[in-house]
Structure 1
Amino acid sequence: MTEDATPWMDAELEPRERARLLVAAMSREQKIAQLHGAMETIDIYAVSAEAAQGEGGLDAVADQFRVERHVDGIEELGIPRFRITNGPVGVGMGDGTPSPPATALPMAIALAAGFDPELARDYGGIIGAEAATLGQHVLEGPGVCLHRTTIAGRNFEYFSEDPYLSGVMGVEVTRAIQAQDVIAIGKHYVLNDQEVERFRTSVEIDEDVLRELYLLPFEMLVKDAGIAGIMSAYNRIRGVYATENRPVLTEILRHEWGFEGYVQSDFWSTRSAAPSLNAGLDHEMPDAKWLNEQNITAALQDTSLEIETVDRALARRFTQMFRFGVFERPYAPGEIDAAAHGAVSRRIGSQTAVLLKNDGGLLPLDPAVASVAVIGQSTFVDEACLGGGGSSKVIPLYTVPPVEGLRDVLEGLGSPAEITRVMVEKDLSNLGEARQAAEWADVVVLMAGHVATEGADQPHASLPDGQDRMLAELLAVNGRSVVVLKDSNPVLMPWIEAAPAVLEVWNQGAEDGHVVADLLFGVVNPSGKVPTTYPRSEDDTLYAGRPERYPGTDEGDGYPVIRYSEGRRMGYRWFQSEGNEPLFGFGHGLSYTSFELSDLVVDAPDGVAAPVTVEVSITNTGQRAGAEVVQVYAGIPAEGQPPKRLVAFAKVQVEPGATERVRLTIDPGATHHPLSVWDHTARAFRTVTGDYTLYVGTAADSTPLTTTLRGAASGG
C-alpha cells in the first residue's frame, strides 16, 4: 500500500483518529483476527488444577507449555505483531519460547511493605525498561486485588490488604512502566482475591463495600495513572462472569471513571462472544476460543452483536497501541543491564524487609562473630528465593544464594566469621545434625518460609513441611538465633515467644543472599512495614468457621458462592472491629534505632470540606540513621465504618538525634476518597455529618497522637 492508502500511519494524527482510520480500512475477517491472541489452545490452568498438587506444582506445568503471548500482525495494514508479557513481579512469561530471562525482583507484597512511592517508581521502572528492551509492548501488571485472606495464592502478586496503600503502589508502578512506552494492564478486575475455584466462584458483595475497598485501587489506576489496559478476572461477580459484567466493565470503568483504554481477558476467562463484547470486553487472550470467526460471524448474523461493537473494541486497543508507539517501533530486542538492575533490586529489597521482633537488640549481628550457622530447608538456604509460582514466574538473569551473599557481605566488612550451612530435609530426618550445628555456632540464622503459586490457595496459614517444628526445636538450642522468614504472605508463628529476633524478608528474588546479609549485619537498617496483618491464630481471621465467606458454599446454583458478609471489616479493620489483637498489626515494623512522634498540628479551617494538612515532628532517639513511616488514619462517623482507615503516609529518613518535620495532606477530593463513604442512592462518594477522628502514629494499632475534625454532609 502507498502512504496515501494508509493514513493511520501518519504519526501527526491523534491516536484515536489513527485507530478510527485503521478500523475503517479493515475487512470483517481482519477485524475478527485482531480480537484475540494467537496462541495454540492449551488450557494450562485446567491442566494445572491437578498438576499443581504434584511435584513442582503449577510451575511444572508451565514449563511444559511456554506461552507465546501475542497477537498476530497484519502486514498489508502495517499492524505489527503485538507482544505481551506477564510482569507484576518482573518480566515473566512473554512472547518467546522460552521466555527471555529478566531481573527477578522482590514480590509485590514486599514492595508494599516499603511504604514508599519512590521505591514503587524504581520497581516499575525496572519492569518497564526490561519489557521494552526485550521488545515487548504490553506488561500484564500491576495487580491490585486485596489480601482478603492471608492464604490466597496470588497475594505475592498483589500489594496489600489496604486499598489506599495498594493504589499508591500500583499508580507509581504503572506510571513508571508506561514512561517506557510499555502498556500496563491493571489486574484482575475485580474480586479475584482467592484462587479456590477461581473459574467458577461467584462473589456476593454489597455495593458500598465494593466501592470503598475492592474497586478503589483500580479507580486510582485509571484516574491517577492513566493506565492503558485493564485485565478482567476469572470469577463471577453477583452471578455474572467478570468478562460479561457490563456494570463493572462499562458503567463503572468507563462511564463513571472515564477509562479510555482497553479491557483484555485473563487467560481463558472469556466465556462468550457477543455477551462479552457487548459488556465491554475488548480483547480475548491467549487464543480465539470465543472471539473467533465462526462465533462472531454467527452473532453478527443473528444481530446479538453489531459490527460497530467490534469496531469499538478494536479502536480502543489500537488507540493505546498508537499512543505508545507500537506501530513505529521495530522489533529489536536488546540486552538487559543485569548488574545495574540487580543493584536496584538489592536496594528495594533491603528497604522492604520488616523487622518483626528484636528482643535484647540481638540484631544487627556483630561482623566480628566467629561462626554463623545457616539452617533451613533447601528452598530457603540453598538458592535465592525467587518465589511466585505460575505465569508470573521470572526466569532470572542471575541469582545470589544465601551463603554466597553472606560471604560477600562479611568479606566486605572484614569479618573472620566461618559460615556453616545445614540443609534440613523436608521430613526433618536430619534434624539432629541441625541441632548440633546450632549448638556449636556463635550465631544461628534459621531460614524458613513458603513460596505461593497462582492457581491454588494455601491449605492453611502455617509454614509447610514441618518448619514450625524445625524452628521450635532449633530455637531451644541456641539463644542467639535469628529467624529469617522468606514468605509470600503472612504466616502463623507458634514458636514466636522462643525467637529473640524475626526478620521478614519475603521472597526476595535474585539478590536474596546480599539483601539478607546486608540486613542481618547492619549494612542496611530495616524500615519495612507490615502491609497485611499477621493473625495470632486462624481462629482470629474473618473466615474462621464461616465457609460462606471462604472458601464458599454451593447455594443451589451449582457453583461456589463466596459472600463478603464481613463488609468493610477486612484486614486491620477486621481485627480492630472485633477487638482481636493481631500478632503483628498493619503498619508494624521495627528498626535498629528508635523514633518518637510529637507536636501534632492539623490545619483544617473548612473541616473535611477542603484539604486537611497534618504536620508532626519525628525524632530519631537512637544511635543509627534510619527511616520511619508516619501513618495517618481516619475514623469516619458513619454507621458500618470500621474504627480506622489509612488516609496518608510518608516514609522519612532521620539522622541520629535529629528531628524532621513531616507534612501530609488529606484531600477529600482525591481519587481514594479518604474521608468519604459510598452513597448508593446518589451513586457517589460523600462526606457525612459528625466528628472525624485523625489518628497519627507508626502502625494501625500504634497511633498515640489524635485530633478531631468536624464534618458536614456533602454530595461528592
Structure 2
Amino acid sequence: MTERPWLDTTLEPAERARRLVAAMSLEQKIAQLHGAMKTVDIYAMSNNATTAEEMDQLVAQIQIERHVAGLDELDIPRYRITNGPVGVGMGDGTPSPPATALPMSIGLAAGFDPELARQYGDVIGDEAAALGQHVLEGPGVCLHRLPTGGRNFEYYSEDPYLSGVMGVEVAKAIQAHDVVAMAKHYAVNDQEHERFRANVEIDENVLRELYLLPFEMLVKDADIAAVMSAYNRVRGTYATENRYLLHTILREQWGFTGYVQSDFWSCRSAAASLSAGLDHEMPDAKWLNEENVKAALHDTSLEIQTVDRALVRRFTQMFRFGHFEKPYAPREIDAARNGATSRRIGSQIAVLLKNDAGLLPLAADAGRILVVGQAKFVDEACLGGGGSSKVDPLYTVRPLDGLQDVLKSLGSGSTLSSVTVADDLSDLDSAVEAAGGADVVVVMAGLVATEGLDQPHANLLNQQDEMIARLLAANPNTVVVLKDGNPVLMPWIEQAPAVLEVWNQGAEDGHVVADLLFGVVNPSGKVPTTYPRSFEDTPFAGHEERYPGVDEGEGYPTMRYTEGLQMGYRWYQSQNIEPLFPFGFGLSYTTFELSGLQVSAPAGAPVEVSATVTNTGERAGAEVVQVYLSFPEEAQQPPRRLVGFQKVTVEPGTTQTVSIIIDPDATNHPLSVWDDRARDFVIRPGEYGIHVGTSSASTPLESRIAVAG
C-alpha cells in the first residue's frame, strides 16, 4: 500500500488524487487528460448534416469509444462515460448498450414534481451502474429560450427555477448510484444553430438571474461532480477557454470542487483551455495530446501545476465514488421494473391542453376507434431525441399494442383500427374517409427534434397541420395527441375539441397514451414552456440579432440576448401578449378551486405561503399550486417570477392544504436581483407581491409583503 498510497481508502479522495498525480510521469499525465477515441474531423462531418435523419446517421458513423484509457501500471481503471440525459445513451463501446428509453426531459419538467425527477434519475443511475459506466453526461439545464431549439427536448424548461429543481433531483439520484452526474452545457448553449462557431452576447444580470441559475443550484444543492463546457463562444471567447465562467464563477464564487469536461470536440486549445479551467477533453486528444501539451509547457504558456490541478480534480471524483475499487462487472438491467417506473412517470407528465364538452377521457366502450397519423407517431413508440443522447431501447410498446392492452384490461368491447398517413399526405383522402366512419378518432402527431439542428419553424413538420385540420373536419369526436419535444403552433386549435400533450414518451409510449385517453390515469402535467399563438408573438420575430445572429465582421454569427430578462412567460407578460397556452397551464379530468391564502413573512426569515386546494369534480386528481413573486418597480424585473410550487393529489370533494417556503437564502435567490456594482445578488427593499394560482396567467390568490433590503 505504501508503494501505491492512492489506493488507501482511509485517505480523503482529494488526498488520494494528489498522491496519485505526484507518482505519474508527464506522459502518463497527458494520457489521462483526454478520451481514447481516434480523432476525427467532427466539424466537417457536422456541416454535412442538414436533417434529423442525417444527424442520426452521423452519430452512428462516429463509432465513439467513450472512455479514458486505463493505466494498469498505476491501477487506474478504464474510465467509462455514457451520454444522457434522457436515459443511458451511447455508453462506452459501440454499439450503445440497450437501456430504458425514458420520456424526454421537457416532459419530466411538465410533471412539476421533484419526486418524479428523483425516480427518473434513479432509473438512469441504476442503469448506468448496471452497465459499468462511471459518468452520465446529464442533466442538461440550459433554458428554452428559443421555441424551436434543437435540444429543448433534453433540457427542462424556460424557467430557471423549475429547471434547477428538476436537475438537482435527477443529479442527486444519479450520484446515489456512485455514478458521476455532469451538468451541461455550460453555458448559454440555448440553440444549435452554428453551435461550433456562434457567439453569445448577454448582460450580466440576465446571465446570472436566468441562464446560470440552474447550474448554480446544481453545484450548491446537488454537489454535482462534473460540468460539461459548451461549444459556443460567450462574449467572444469559447466556453472551453472562458476563465470567467470556468474559474471565477464556477469555482471562486460557487465553490465547485468537481471537474470540467469539454463537450465532444468543443475543446479548441491546449494551454488556453487548461489555464481557463477546463480539466478534461473528450472524446479524443485533438488538443490535449503530447505534442501540444509538451510544447505549451516548454514555452511556459502552460504550467505543470495546471496539468496536475486538472487531473487531481477528476481523480478526486473517481475516488469519491469508489471507481478505483469497483471491478468492471456489468449486470442485467431490470427492464420490467424500470419500464414500469417510466410508464408511471410518463402518465404524470402529460398535459391536457383542451377538453371541450368533456370528450376525454374516452369511454372504454367507445365503439369504433380509429388511430390516424404518420408512421413515426402511429406505428412505433415515439422515442424522441435525435443525436448523441438517443437511447437504444430494451423494448418498446407501440401505440396500437398499448391501446389494445389497456382496452383489454378494462373489459372493453370497442374495436380498434389504424391508418398510417404518408409523410407527403398522398393518401390523406382515404384516411379522412375512414375517419368519417369511426365513432372516435385519435390523431397522433408530433415532432422529434435533434441535437445539431434547430427546427426550421415552429409548426409540425411534414404538413401535419393540414392532416389534423382535415381529420378534425371529418369527425367531431376527434382527439389530437401531440408527441413532441418542443412547443408547437396549432393553427387548427379552434377546431379541436380535445388536445393532449404527451411529449416524446419513450419505450412505454403505447401504454402511457392509452392510460391517459381512457382515464386510467388523470392528466396532471403543466406546460414547462410557453406555447405561442404565432411565431410573430415570440421575442425573435424581426430580431435577427437575437436569433439566428448577425455576422458583425468577425466571421461568425453573434446572438445578442437583447430581450434581457423578458424570456419565456416573462416576455409575454411584459409585452401584454396572450399566449396560446401559458407557462404552468394544464387541465384535468376533474376541477379544482384554490382558497384560503395565508402568508407569513417574519422579518429576515423565510416566507411561508399556504393555501387550500379543493377537488370540486368527481375524479381524484393532482393540481400544481404555483407561487409567483412580483418585485418593487426599482428592481426592474418582469411582472412575475416563479419562486415555488407543489403538486398535491386530492380526492373528489376533499381539501388539501399546501405550504410552500420561500427562503431568501436559497440557491435560486428568490427575492434577489443581480447587482453589477455589488457583484452579487441583493434584495431590494420595498413591497413585493405574492401571486398564487395554477399557471403563470391564473393567480387568483394575491397578497403583499414588505421586504427590507
- TM bucket normalised to smaller: over 0.9
Gaps of 5+ in 1: none
Contact 1:49 1:455 (8 Å CA) reproduced:
no
Shift of 1:665: 0.3
Q: Which letter maps to 2:449?
A: A
- Please say if 1:594 is aligned against 2:591: yes
Aligned to 1:333: 330
| Deviation readout 1:626-656 (Å, 9 max, x if unpaired) | 0000000000113431000000000000000
Shift of 1:63: 1.6
Q: Which letter maps to 2:350?
A: A
In 2, Cα distance between equivalents of 1:589 and 1:352: 10
The correspondence for 1:349, drawn from 346, 357, 361, is 346
The correspondence for 2:696, drawn from 688, 700, 704, is 700
- Please say if 1:5 is aligned against 2:12: no
- Please say if 1:712 is aligned against 2:708: yes
Matches within 5 A, 1:269-348: 269-348=266-345
Tell me the SS of whatever aligns to 1:299: helix
Tell me the SS of whatever aligns to 2:533: coil
- Please say if 1:260 is aligned against 2:257: yes
The correspondence for 2:667, drawn from 643, 668, 671, is 671
- Please say if 1:408 is aligned against 2:405: yes
Tell me the SS of whatever aligns to 2:596: strand
Shift of 1:612: 0.2
The correspondence for 1:653, drawn from 644, 649, 652, is 649
In 1, Cα distance between equivalents of 2:42 and 2:274: 24
Tell me the SS of whatever aligns to 1:4: coil
The correspondence for 2:459, drawn from 454, 462, 471, is 462
Aligned to 2:428: 431
Q: Which letter maps to 1:518?
A: D
Shift of 1:44: 4.0
Aligned to 2:14: 16
The correspondence for 1:484, drawn from 481, 489, 496, is 481
Shift of 1:492: 0.1
In 2, Cα distance between equivalents of 1:711 and 1:51: 53
The correspondence for 2:48, drawn from 43, 47, 50, is 50
Aligned to 2:104: 107
Shift of 1:451: 0.2
Q: Which letter maps to 1:356?
A: L
The correspondence for 2:658, drawn from 646, 662, 675, is 662
In 2, Cα distance between equivalents of 1:43 and 1:635: 49
In 1, Cα distance between equivalents of 2:232 and 2:589: 44
Aligned to 1:171: 168
Aligned to 2:510: 513
In 1, Cα distance between equivalents of 2:153 and 2:412: 35
Aligned to 1:26: 24
In 1, Cα distance between equivalents of 2:269 and 2:430: 58
Contact 1:43 1:268 (8 Å CA) reproduced:
no
Contact 2:143 2:211 (8 Å CA) reproduced:
yes
Q: Tell me which moved more, 681-690 or 256-265.
A: 681-690
Q: Tell me which moved more, 176-185 or 430-439.
A: 430-439
The correspondence for 2:539, drawn from 537, 542, 546, is 542
Aligned to 2:178: 181
The correspondence for 1:622, drawn from 617, 623, 626, is 617
In 2, Cα distance between equivalents of 1:241 and 1:610: 41
Shift of 1:57: 2.3
| Deviation readout 1:72-115 (Å, 9 max, x if unpaired) | 00001000000000010000011011110000000000000000
Shift of 1:60: 1.3
The correspondence for 1:89, drawn from 80, 86, 91, is 86
Matches within 5 A, 1:441-456: 441-456=438-453
Aligned to 1:386: 383
- Please say if 1:68 is aligned against 2:65: yes
Contact 1:145 1:214 (8 Å CA) reproduced:
yes
Q: Which letter maps to 1:154?
A: R
Shift of 1:523: 0.2
The correspondence for 1:360, drawn from 352, 357, 361, is 357
In 1, Cα distance between equivalents of 2:284 and 2:426: 47
Aligned to 2:637: 641
Q: Which letter maps to 1:230?
A: V
In 1, Cα distance between equivalents of 2:203 and 2:591: 42
- Please say if 1:684 is aligned against 2:643: no
Q: Which letter maps to 1:51?
A: A
In 2, Cα distance between equivalents of 1:414 and 1:225: 46
In 1, Cα distance between equivalents of 2:361 and 2:56: 36
Shift of 1:556: 1.1
Tell me the SS of whatever aligns to 1:574: helix
Gaps of 5+ in 2: none
In 1, Cα distance between equivalents of 2:628 and 2:400: 41
Q: Which letter maps to 1:210?
A: L
Contact 2:42 2:265 (8 Å CA) reproduced:
no
In 1, Cα distance between equivalents of 2:641 and 2:208: 14
Shift of 1:417: 1.0
Q: How many residues align?
A: 708
In 2, Cα distance between equivalents of 1:332 and 1:691: 59
Contact 1:66 1:93 (8 Å CA) reproduced:
no
Runs of 4+ deviating beyond 4 Å? none
Contact 1:45 1:455 (8 Å CA) reproduced:
no
Shift of 1:524: 0.1
RMSD in angstroms over aligned alpha carbons?
0.8
In 1, Cα distance between equivalents of 2:206 and 2:94: 42
TM-score for both structures, normalised by structure 1: 0.98
Aligned to 1:420: 417
Q: Which letter maps to 1:184?
A: A
Contact 2:635 2:673 (8 Å CA) reproduced:
no
The correspondence for 1:159, drawn from 156, 159, 169, is 156
Aligned to 1:585: 582
Aligned to 1:244: 241
Q: Which letter maps to 1:244?
A: E
In 1, Cα distance between equivalents of 2:414 and 2:476: 18
Q: Which letter maps to 1:550?
A: Y
Contact 2:675 2:682 (8 Å CA) reproduced:
yes
Shift of 1:711: 1.6
In 1, Cα distance between equivalents of 2:175 and 2:216: 17
